[in-house]
């Protein structure tokens, strides 16, 4: 299992789980859309993420919630560049991840602003240039499973065996990347992306079965439908459920938690790690 991620000259240890704080610079994300669109709002959010203990900032400029509005490539690139520049200005040593499925956007951000982690919700299925691009850039790549596209994924998701099929998808895509001589891979089961409530909880229950693929696991469950629909609350009321599922994910071997609420996730990591350290005595 990979023990660290290298992003440019920075190294992120995975000896203990890392929290990735979400910075959505979109007007329409499902939970925090429109909160961080001005320069002052973005700066305040960057400070908040870092001061609460996140090890990575994940910047998203194109909402991939079901039914989200189309954003053209130039607009996405402009939004991402603006936010990433601000992170670099205030915290030049904090690793940045960009949430994009477009190879050209990844290439341009790295060319202009330096190495970043590329967080691709499509696992290379929405841009056939993505794999060769990240291999050429040699930057960490988050490979996520999705069934369909953000526009179609929740219409009628179907699997004969969701755990086997998602695992096989990731395995096959890893092999394609490895064939390009690329190995800087992080895996994401894709909670909420073309899955029913039952599919999501089945994947969570069997998370350990993904560890033997040999790459770190990222879990992005924060305030998602699988929490608030089950509990019959709103995304704004789903923090407690998020913390519960993040804790379960840590106990099952998650290496990175992608979250809106950094402080609570950092506390969950501290508690689980304290329990593990005592258990080793």
Catalytic residues: 224, 258
Six-digit token string for 10: 């920075």
Six-digit token string for 150: 């953000």
Query: What is the rounded distance in angstroms from the CA atom of residue 158 to the CA atom of residue 36?
Result: 35
CB neighbour class for 177 (10 Å; exposed up to 12, middle 13-18, buried from 19): buried
Q: How many residues can be counted in the chain?
A: 281
CB neighbour class for 155 (10 Å; exposed up to 12, middle 13-18, buried from 19): exposed
CB neighbour class for 191 (10 Å; exposed up to 12, middle 13-18, buried from 19): buried
DSSP state of 77: H
The H-or-E segment that residue 56 falls in is strand 56-60
């Amino acid at each position: 299992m990979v023990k660290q991620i290298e992003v440019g000259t920075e190294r992120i240890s995975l000896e203990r789980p890392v929290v990735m704080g979400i910075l959505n610079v979109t007007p329409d994300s499902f939970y925090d859309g429109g909160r961080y669109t001005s320069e002052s709002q973005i700066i305040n959010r960057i400070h908040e993420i870092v001061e609460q203990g996140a090890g990575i900032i994940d910047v998203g400029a194109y909402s991939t919630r079901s039914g989200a509005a189309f954003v053209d490539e130039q607009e996405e690139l402009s939004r991402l560049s603006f936010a990433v520049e601000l992170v670099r200005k205030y915290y030049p040593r904090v690793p940045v991840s960009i949430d994009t499925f477009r190879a050209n956007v990844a290439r341009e951000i790295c060319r202009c602003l330096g190495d970043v982690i590329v967080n691709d919700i499509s696992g290379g299925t929405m841009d056939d240039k993505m794999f060769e691009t990240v291999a050429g850039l040699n930057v960490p790549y988050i490979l996520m499973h999705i069934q369909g596209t953000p526009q179609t994924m929740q219409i009628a998701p179907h699997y004969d065996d969701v755990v086997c099929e998602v695992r096989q998808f990731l395995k096959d895509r890893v092999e394609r990347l490895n064939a390009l001589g690329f190995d800087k891979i992080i895996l994401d089961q894709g909670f909420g992306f073309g899955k029913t409530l039952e599919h999501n909880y089945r994947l969570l229950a069997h998370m350990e079965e993904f560890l033997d693929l040999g790459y770190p696991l990222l879990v992005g469950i924060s305030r998602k439908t699988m929490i608030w629909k089950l509990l019959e609350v709103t995304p704004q009321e789903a923090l407690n459920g998020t913390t519960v599922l993040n804790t379960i994910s840590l106990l099952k071997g998650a290496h990175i938690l992608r979250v809106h609420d950094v402080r609570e996730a950092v506390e969950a990591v501290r508690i689980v790690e304290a329990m593990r350290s005592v258990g080793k005595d």
